[in-house]
């Protein structure tokens, strides 16, 4: 460590290490929630802007018929 101190390198404080490693528990929970919502969106949507929750073909046809009115 002595040779690194010649170049101005020093140990990180605990707070600095915590900030570098991802912050606190709330930040991790928010990121996990966003990731879960994104995964759910990928499962539900077909990639063309239509998001349907397991509609039968008849329900889907009715939905688009009434939506166009």
What's the whole-model pTM score? 0.42
Buried b (16+ CB within 10 A) or exposed e, 38-69: eeeeeeeeeeeeeeeeeeeeeeeeeeeeeeee
pLDDT of residue 31 exceeding 90 = no
Q: Which residues contact 22 (CB under 8 A, 6 or more apart)?
A: 28
**Which of 43, 39, 38, 67 lies closest to 54, judged by CA?**
43
pLDDT at 22: 62
pLDDT in the model for residue 20 = 66
30 has a pLDDT exceeding 80 = yes
């Amino acid at each position: 460590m002595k040779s690194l101190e010649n170049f101005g390198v020093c140990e990180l404080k605990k707070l600095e290490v915590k900030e570098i490693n991802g912050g606190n528990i709330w930040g991790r929970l928010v990121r996990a929630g966003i990731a879960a919502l994104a995964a759910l969106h990928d499962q539900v949507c077909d990639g063309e802007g239509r998001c349907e929750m397991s509609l039968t073909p008849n329900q889907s046809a009715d939905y688009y018929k009434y939506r166009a009115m």
